[in-house]
Amino acid sequence: MLDNLMMGFGAALTPANLLWCFVGVLAGTVIGLLPGLGSTTGVAVLLPLTLSFEPLTALIMLAGIYYGAQYGGTITSVLISTPGEAASVVTAIDGYQMARRGRAGAALSIAAIGSFVAAIVSLVLLVAMAPPFAKLALDFGPPENLAVMLLGLTTIVSFSSGARLRGLAMAVLGILLATVGVDAATGLPRYTFGDVDLLSGLPFVQVMIGLFAVGEVLYQIRQGAAAPIRARFRDLVINREELSRSKGAIARGSLIGYLLGCLPGAGSTLASFLAYGVEKRVSKHRDEFGHGAIEGVASPESANNAAANANFVPTLALGIPGGATTAVLLGAFMMYGIQPGPLLFDEQPELVWGLLASFFIGNVLLLVLNLPLAPLFAQMLRIPYGYMYPLILVTSFVGAYSIDNNMFSVWIVFVSGLVGYFMKKFDLPMAPLVLGLVIGPLFEKALVQTSAMGDGDLTLILTRPIALVVLALAALLVAGPSLLKLLPRREKETV
């Protein structure tokens, strides 16, 4: 394997590949900064530019866009509470609160460090364990996927501390709204009222832009313009205590991200939500979550980067995309005449290992590029809010328009913005709603397939060992806090 990796570095470290890796990472970061333009759109938009490249060079650049955009999305999540990427949604919760407290630079730095560590850890795991993990992922059928999604929902609801019922309501609302559009199994349109634009469902990214960016702006206007942050440059740099607090969060986030990223379809978004939920359970500073806990940035950022890399396990080894962006990359492979799958490692070793080696290089470039720039990005917050929020509104709407090039997207942002404002006003948690919307279609697909496997009997899920373990974990998450509360009381009683 080491020989293969050395061969990969040999292929990736040519001047042309290095240059295009840098261009990809930089372009990805800029694309991620623009609301609505995530890695999927970025890779899709820039794919035609790479058609004249060597396949390896093209894939290196496209992969650079992929993880560059992940970090770019984080920047806007932290600075203006506008996630450029679905996987950065959860980062906005604590990252933005950190920014409002003058710690934007620290949030961005820990995101860069966490992403880097997670990327390197997950890449080592990817290189070492891709074949056995691919075999394990093959054992995941619809019941197991259903169980994983139930675990994701349970986690997200369980971290709506003090407001579990509200969290549950929002998660269920997300799933309900995700049923709008054509039913994947039968082709029957649901809740579309004859509108062609609704056939493909409520556009998730546009809803997200409305809820988070426009909703936040409207809420800030009502609260009275937030004063521009006047933090000194040195206050924007991450300190030792913050680094120390983040270590465990980065390790846990990386592991969760890697494990979930290996599952086809689970993706970075679910990984980031799960990592945040777990961190909120285990952190010593859980009371700070939602108010600017650095672990709330470190963990999901590590998870989404680890998952982004792990997404390549099913993509390369099975030819099944791990997420939306790897689905576009899979299309790119086909365009270059390459067929991903178990034989790819044997037939095109230089390409596979060159691509994997380029991930190492790209992540080093990303860290070198973003760590010094984090405090500079944070200077954006010095702009008076009276100028800032009209610009946020405009970029949000133009970003939403650019996704599908239609005004329907823009109106969705407008309506979602109003909904987001009322959700903030009445303190309704947004994360469960977003997760419900994201996994709704996948959840329904797994539900339909499980039902078909059991001839209508959904208890089939209880007969599958892996699904049972995952469900037990979910049950533990629900019952765990109550059980933990009981433990000390018993100890006291016995003393």
Q: Is residue 175 near other proteins by the rule CB under 8 A?
A: yes
Number of chain residues interacting with other proteins (CB under 8 A): 59
Q: How far is the CB of 346 from other proteins (least distance, A)?
A: 39
Nearer to other proteins, 4 or 402 (CB): 402
Q: Is residue 226 near other proteins by the rule CB under 8 A?
A: no
Q: In the range 34-63, which residues lie near other proteins by CB under 8 A?
A: 34, 37, 45
Q: Is residue 233 near other proteins by the rule CB under 8 A?
A: no
Q: In the range 430-449, which residues lie near other proteins by CB under 8 A?
A: 440, 443-444, 447-448
Q: Is residue 355 near other proteins by the rule CB under 8 A?
A: no
Nearer to other proteins, 247 or 425 (CB): 425
The rounded distance, in Å, linking the Cα atoms of 105 and 381 is: 11
Instruction: Choose, by CB under 8 A, the member of 52, 234, 241, 426 that binds other proteins.
Output: 426
The rounded distance, in Å, linking the Cα atoms of 170 and 435 is: 9
Instruction: Choose, by CB under 8 A, the member of 7, 418, 466, 468 that binds other proteins.
Output: 418
First vs last Cα of the chain: how many Å apart? Answer: 57
Which residues does residue 181 pair with via DSSP β-bridges, in sequence order?
A: 190
Cα separation values, 362 from 24, 64, 97, Å: 9, 6, 29
Which residue stretches of 47-194 are H helix? 55-80, 89-100, 104-138, 142-158, 164-177
The rounded distance, in Å, linking the Cα atoms of 400 and 93 is: 21
Q: How far is the CB of 186 from other proteins (least distance, A)?
A: 5
Nearer to other proteins, 238 or 442 (CB): 442
Q: How far is the CB of 407 from other proteins (least distance, A)?
A: 7
Q: How far is the CB of 169 from other proteins (least distance, A)?
A: 5
Q: Which of 202, 229, 188 is nearest to 105 (CA)?
A: 229
Nearer to other proteins, 128 or 185 (CB): 185
The rounded distance, in Å, linking the Cα atoms of 24 and 63 is: 7
Cα separation values, 435 from 208, 325, 418, Å: 11, 18, 19
Instruction: Choose, by CB under 8 A, the member of 138, 282, 387, 486 that binds other proteins.
Output: 387
Q: Which of 435, 387, 448, 406 is nearest to 157 (CA)?
A: 435
What is the three-class DSSP state of 38?
Answer: coil
For other proteins, what does the binding mask look like between residues 73 and 102, x meaning CB under 8 A? ------------------------------
Instruction: Choose, by CB under 8 A, the member of 1, 3, 227, 405 that binds other proteins.
Output: 405
Nearer to other proteins, 380 or 418 (CB): 418
Q: Is 369 exposed, middle or buried (0-12, 13-18, 19+ CB in 10 A)?
A: middle
Instruction: Choose, by CB under 8 A, the member of 112, 410, 412, 460 that binds other proteins.
Output: 410
